[in-house]
Structure 1
Amino acid sequence: MLFNHQEVLVSRTSRFIGSLTIKRCLSKNANYITTPIFYVNAKPHLGHFYSMTLADVQNRWMKFNNRETFFTTGTDEHGLKVQLAAQKAGLPPKQFCDGLSEKFKDLARIGEIEYDRFIRTTDPDHIKAVTSFWNVVQKTGCIYEGQHSGWYSISDEAFYTDTDVEEALDEKTGKKMMVSKETGSEVIFQSEDNYFFRISEFQDSLIKFYNSHPDFVQPQKYYDQVMHELTSEKLPDLSISRPSSRLEWGIKVPNNDDQKMYVWFDALVNYITSLGYPEVTDNLTPASHLVGKDITRFHCIYWPIFLMAAKLPMPKRIVVHGHWLMDGRKMSKSRGNVADPVDISAYYDADALRLFMMRNATLTSDCDYSEVKVFDTRNEFIDKFCNMVMRGLSKSFNYESSLSLIKKSSLKGISEHMEPDESLEKDVTDLFDTVNGLPSSIDADVSNFIMPPALEQIWDIPRRANMLFEKYKPWELKEKVTNSDAVNSANLNRRALIVFAAVDSMRCVFILLQCFAPLYAKKLLDTMHVSKDRRSLKYARIGADLDYANDVKIKKHGSVPIVKVDLRK
């Protein structure tokens, strides 16, 4: 196998030390991308890896295109769920959070997630930011004290109204219980004294904002859902604290030791903590928030209203994605259908999982995980991408001599020294145009987190390169003593053009694939002896680099740098 678990774990260290406050100097036009911060009541799952990877591919692509970028991910570490999970584990909450937060960092390292900051809500600068944010919005009169009664879900950390809940049967016990209609989580009726945020006073302003920003929530279906919620009924004010007697593990409400901040009020502020708030308040870079569909209300309604109240810039956009299922059902430990991304990556490589997810996931719907499809994706990559390179660089074709002919005569010169062949010239020209056009052709999709069509275009290149070989059979174009010098020269030029077209197309593709499958791309570019300083966008064009493949030794046809593995039983 190409990579093992241990090798990947030590691949890279974070570039950010969480206890430091760093002022960000980002322009308004920077690509600021965030994942949700992940709740640490349990170890990472496939959905976490998907959010990380989707953001990472987009961020790498922006950086690859010389755009200013900043990418954050992290862990959400306060709240009743964490408190109860820590108690169950017999650990102090902070120690419990430290262990699980490290598992999320390990997942990022395994998956080659190139974040700029891994933020934790227990970081000192975040606690300072949240406390300051509370004080700011409290001074505007947006916070008041009151009593709250309603159906509370520990799992969702949210209150629900009577119309939001329904009776259901517990799958384990068969007993009746009340659950949230939206999430299916159990709810219990509670009454307590809390602080409230005047959400209702901002409803009309938020509707007006949505009407003037029709692309604020993407895809369209989620924009429509949020607008329906905003316009169909009056928003209730939001309880933003919990009694300390019930919630011990949280950030203290300023000047009131008897109350802890509601976990979502705390968590959402992370997006501006990472920009240096409260030291930095002017020109905060608008973010692209990538979120799962189950947390749209918090990001699409509460967070914009919080920002309005604090008179801070709105996000650039909120991009919503679906969930990962297995055999059409939600993953759960009780069903035994949980896919562990660390375990999967240790066996098949993280890049195989990255490619599977990016090729098969659509933002508009839930996606179905299949280990067979991960296995098939890995094998297909080896068969299409790796074997094409191994074939072109084999001793049979002496690729170095092909490059020498290209450098000496140029592509046009080689064509002039061949017998006229309109079919070959058209196939090669079309392939070159397609490869050279790939960066601009896939830019809009990748920039908007729509990965399958972009990868489909990339996936088409090795198919077309292999077609050149099958159609024009360069292995038959050899020097023969029975041929004239002119015929031998024409054959060598013809073979050089065919082999070069196929191999150089793959070089360009691997440069682009650095954003999607960074470990595989590096391995293949290394195999081709492509210089590390010639792997940028400007070299992702046919003929932009003619000084690679020196002394490449392919032992035999089929000897690929990524070795196939068996499907796990």
Structure 2
Amino acid sequence: MRISARLLSSVVQRRPFYVTTPIFYVNAAPHIGHLYTAVVADAIQRFEKLTNPDCKIIFSTGTDEHGTKIQQAAARANQSPQDYCDAMSKEYRDLFKEFHVEYTDFVRTTEERHLRAVKHFWKELKDQDYIYKAKYSGWYSVNDEAFVPEAHTREEVTDDGKVRVSVESGNKVEWTEENNYMFRLSAFKTHLKNWLKTDGVVQPAKFHNQLQEMVADDVYLPDISVSRPASRVHWAIRVPDDEEQSIYVWLDALVNYLTVCGYPDDELMKSRGRPWPADVHVVGKDIMKFHGIYWPAFLMAARRAAPRALLVHAHWTARGAKMSKSAGNAARPRDAPPAAARALRYLLLREATLADDANYSETKLINTANSELADTLGNLASRSTGAALNPRAEFPALPDPHAAGAAQLARCRSLQPTQALMRELELLPEICHKHYTNYQFYKAVDAVIRVLHLANLFFETLKPWELKKKPECQKELDVVLHITLETLRICSIILQPIVPDIAKMVLDRLLIPENARNWNDCEVPSWNLKDAVHETKKIQSGKFVLFPRVYVDKGERKASAKTG
């Protein structure tokens, strides 16, 4: 069994594998981009469990509930900030449940355990003399909840006249002068450079290079404000021993990764296997600076290890523009056509390449669902397990190569579609293992779909519906069914991190035991095994529809029925 390099350290040290999403800001309902971050992290932790079922996983997500934007959103909703946050946080939990995001910890910044962690972390920074009080002035973006260096702003002309905006986000900035606490970020330039020298600490390489350029540029490394006057930001955690100041929302939010570990309670952290540092932080490229500069610097100042890796992903766009709550173009998962919603997780992991933006549309969702889940995978599964071709509901054994039936096996294996399918299926686990390890989910799906296309070609070439009519061809039919079902078994094990619910349906249909669905169970096809090849097994009987085709309207359904 293979063990990924990033998991090896966890195994050797008997520590959990710790993967995170950022905690999501609750100023509006979740959109496709938030779901994408969550399913990427979920796919990572599912793959780790497949490759090492005994590894303990900590997978954290949650909601960021403090700051000016939350105050404003709650006021617009005519709710108290806490009631508003409770409702919005529930939306995220419900969404993740619907799309099979199996986190182990959901943290909220309004929780008591998090408040303790943030205040303790602040004191650690203060005790190390990395926090000091000073008068601060600069351009502040309410939408980004961040001060923006003047060199990274520009003037724009709008209907309201000239305004200054952030070059990075396009959001409006306002000149702000106030007494704040400052963090000595400038003291960590060399430390950050050294951290970023580690190969693979930021993936993909495109974003690693960008972070290295930022750290080399002094514009990104001035001392930064880590508090705001409580009179301006009252919905926030107060600075210890200074009720007139609120802790900067990003410092507050980033500490959530330690909160999950049991920090600052050393006994609690020990009982959880001392999971820090995190193995993988999954973040969008718009918050890369906070996770790739501020967060490791905060940790270094507190004399704690920086994260082992950042996995940064690009954005999902709508009509070519970045999805944004403030811009009003955010596609929400709940807005997807109900019949196609089950395919949304598949589309997100199948289409995006991490390094480049991907464009979302309902048309793409429906076409992908029909072409790959309904036709390529679903149709093959229903035909090979249905009563018409498999009335005994069996996963037939391959004929003993030294007994009656060997001729049928030999004839079937001599055909080019059979040879192509068997060859590619034997290589598939190794290919997909590499893609998963490199977080290239779309390549893993590409490889699986290619094999499933070969399986459909094999099925059509061998014509099992004709073999079914001839009793003398039963052995040959068994060969066809075995190879087809073995293809479905292996492909479904591999697809579990991508579409856990759909993969489970196929594996349940084939009556594959729960303890036989791990990665090493798919590495060797049955025809390469010396044991258990000649044992016929039962599968579930009855009608089986894995994924119904999605029809835009009734007319399309009728037209399909007439031509089908």
TM-score band by shorter chain is 0.7 to 0.9
Q: Residues 388 and 422 of structure 1: is their aligned pair in 2 closer, same or farther, counting only changes over 3 Å?
A: closer
Letter in 2 for 1:542: P
> 2:143 corresponds to which residue?
155
Contact kept in structure 1, 2:387 and 2:393, CA below 8 Å = no
Distance in 1 (CA, whole Å) between partners of 2:331 and 2:125 is: 42
Query: Which residue of 369, 379, 390 maps to 1:378?
Result: 369
Shift of 1:189: 0.3
1:524 aligns with 2:515: no
| Count of aligned residue pairs for this structure pair | 528
Q: Does the CA-based 8 Å contact 2:333-2:341 persist in structure 1? A: no
CA distance in 2, matches of 1:70, 1:249: 29
The residue type equivalent to 1:263 in the other structure is V
Post-superposition shift, 1:384?
A: 0.8
Partner of 2:497 in structure 1?
Answer: 515
The yes-or-no answer on 1:553 pairing with 2:542 is yes
Residue 226 to residue 322, structure 1, CA distance change in 2 (3 Å): same
1:346 Cα deviation from its structure 2 partner: 3.8
Q: Is residue 498 of structure 1 aligned with residue 490 of structure 2?
A: no
Q: Does 1:38 align with 2:24?
A: yes
Q: Distance in 2 between matches of 1:401 and 1:255?
A: 71
For the residues of structure 2 that align with 1:401 and 1:74, how far apart are their CA atoms?
44
- Deviation of 1:535 after TM superposition, in Å, equals 3.3
Report the equivalent of 1:255: 241
In structure 2, what residue type is equivalent to 1:273?
A: T
Q: Give 1:199-348 correspondences, 5 Å limit.
A: 199-211=185-197, 213-233=198-218, 235-280=221-266, 283-287=274-278, 288-332=280-324, 337-344=329-336, 346-348=338-340
Are the equivalent residues in 1 in contact too, given 2:394–2:538 (CA < 8 A)? no
- Looking at structure 2, the residues matched to 520 and 404 of structure 1 have their Cα atoms a distance apart, in angstroms, of 23
The one-letter amino acid of 1:59's match is: Q
1:463 aligns with: 453
Q: CA shift at 1:90, angstroms?
A: 2.0
1:336 and 1:120 map into 2 onto residues whose CA distance is 25
% same residue: 36
Choose the corresponding residue for 1:364, options 355, 360, 366. 355
Question: What's the CA shift for 1:339?
Answer: 1.3
User: Could you list the runs of 5+ residues in structure 2 that have no partner in the other structure?
Assistant: 1-9, 527-531, 555-564
- Which residue of 525, 534, 541 corresponds with 1:542? 525
Q: Deviations over 1:222-245 (max 9, x none)?
A: 111111111132621010000111
| SS state at 1:215 partner | coil
| Structure-2 change in CA distance of 1:410 and 1:533 (3 Å) | farther
Q: Distance in 2 between matches of 1:368 and 1:428?
A: 37
Q: Where does 1:382-401 land on structure 2 (aligned, <5 Å)?
A: 382-398=374-390, 400=392
Aligned residue number for residue 454 of structure 1: 444
- Whether the aligned pair in 2 keeps the contact of 1:206 and 1:305 (CA below 8 Å) is yes
- TM-score of the pair, normalised by structure 1: 0.86
Give the whole-Å Cα distance in 2 for the aligned partners of 1:424 and 1:466: 17
**What is the aligned partner in structure 2 of residue 13 from structure 1?**
none
Partner of 1:80: 68
The one-letter code matched in structure 2 to 1:101 is: S
Q: 2: CA distance between counterparts of 1:264 and 1:332?
A: 19
Which 5+ residue runs of structure 1 have no aligned equivalent? 1-23, 482-487
Query: For 1:60-71, what aligned pairs fall within 5 Å after superposition?
Result: 60-66=46-52, 67-71=55-59
* Pair 401,322 (structure 1): closer, same or farther in 2 beyond 3 Å: closer
Q: Tell me, what secondary structure is at the counterpart of 2:144? A: coil
Deviates most, 388-397 or 284-293: 388-397
1:438 matched to 2:428? The reply is yes
Question: In the superposition, relative to structure 1, how do residues 77 and 475 fare at CA in structure 2: closer, same or farther (>3 Å)?
Answer: same
Following superposition, the deviation at residue 375 of structure 1 comes to 0.3
Does the CA-based 8 Å contact 2:396-2:536 persist in structure 1?
no
SS of 1:349 mapped into structure 2 = helix
Kindly indicate whether the alpha-carbon contact (under 8 Å) linking 1:392 and 1:399 is maintained by their aligned counterparts in 2. Answer: no
Work out whether residues 236 and 249 of structure 2, in 8 Å CA contact, stay in contact via their aligned partners in 1: yes
In the alignment, is residue 142 of structure 1 matched against residue 125 of structure 2? Answer: no
Which stretch of structure 1 is more off in the superposition, 199-208 or 410-419? Answer: 410-419
| Counterpart for residue 462 of structure 2 | 472
Asked if structure 1 preserves the Cα contact closer than 8 Å seen for 2:395 and 2:485, the reply is no
| Pair 116,345 (structure 1): closer, same or farther in 2 beyond 3 Å | farther
Q: Provide, for residues 61-83 of structure 1, a one-character-per-residue CA deviation record: whole Å limited to 9, x for no partner.
A: 11122243211111001111111
Q: Does the residue aligned with 1:36 lie in a helix, a strand or coil?
A: coil
Whether contact under 8 Å (2:22, 2:282) holds in the other structure is yes
Task: Give yes or no for contact 2:396–2:481 (8 Å, CA) kept in 1.
Answer: no
Do residues 196 (structure 1) and 188 (structure 2) align? no
Partner of 1:6: none
- Residues 419/71 of structure 1: CA separation in 2 closer, same or farther (3 Å cut): closer
- 1:165-200 Cα deviation digits (max 9, x unpaired): 111134xx4532110011001001010000001000
Distance 2:537 2:232 in 1: 65
- Alpha carbons of structure 1 residues 551 and 516: separation in structure 2 relative to 1, 3 Å: closer
Tell me what 1:566 maps to: 551
Contact 1:322 1:363 (8 Å CA) reproduced: yes
Residue 348 of structure 1 deviates from its aligned partner by 1.6
Q: Classify 1:278/1:412 alpha carbon distance in 2 versus 1 (closer, same or farther; 3 Å).
A: farther
TM-score, L = length of structure 2? 0.87
Partners of 1:298 and 1:440 in 2: CA distance? 36
